[in-house]
């Protein structure tokens, strides 16, 4: 599903924006994508504000309904986690920042294509006492 990318397996969590798009007119179709994009943008901002990182990724559309167990059309995948490196500050106009190479982790990270032996359990978030 992740087209050879290790990112979803290394992320703390992955958010999938999906909706039923069949039967939508052009305006509603665009509105669904806009809403998903706005939600993803807010997720990125929240992740960076908390010292984490977020990244959108590509995926195979036809495999998402089986993963979700619902006949939904995928819109966006967003991976959130703490990266192995921190981003460098950009340079001023005309003074680009020095580029540094980032090497992948050496430990045995699961790569796309090999599925986990069993799915991770889903635990609901505890409700705060009111």
pLDDT of residue 52: 86
**Residues 82-117: tens digit of each pLDDT:** 877 666 667 777 787 777 776 766 655 544 444 444
Can you give the pTM of this predicted structure? Answer: 0.61
Q: Domain ranges in the chain?
A: 1-115
Nearest to 52 by CA among 86, 7, 91, 25: 86
Does 89 or 29 have the greater pLDDT score? 29
Does 41 or 122 have the greater pLDDT score? 41
Strand partners, 56: 78
CATH superfamily of 1-115: NADH Oxidase (3.40.109.10)
């Amino acid at each position: 599903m992740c087209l050879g990318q290790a990112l979803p397996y290394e992320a703390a969590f992955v958010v999938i924006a999906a909706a039923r798009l069949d039967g939508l007119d052009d305006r509603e179709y665009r509105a669904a994508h806009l809403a998903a994009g706005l939600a993803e943008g807010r997720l990125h901002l929240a992740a960076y504000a908390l010292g984490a990182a977020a990244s959108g990724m590509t995926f195979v559309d036809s495999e998402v309904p089986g993963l979700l167990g619902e006949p939904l059309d995928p819109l966006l995948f967003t991976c959130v986690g703490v990266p192995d490196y921190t981003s460098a500050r950009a340079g001023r106009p005309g003074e680009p920042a020095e580029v540094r190479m980032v090497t992948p982790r050496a430990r045995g990270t699961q790569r796309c294509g090999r599925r986990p032996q069993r799915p991770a359990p889903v635990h609901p978030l505890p409700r705060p006492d009111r």
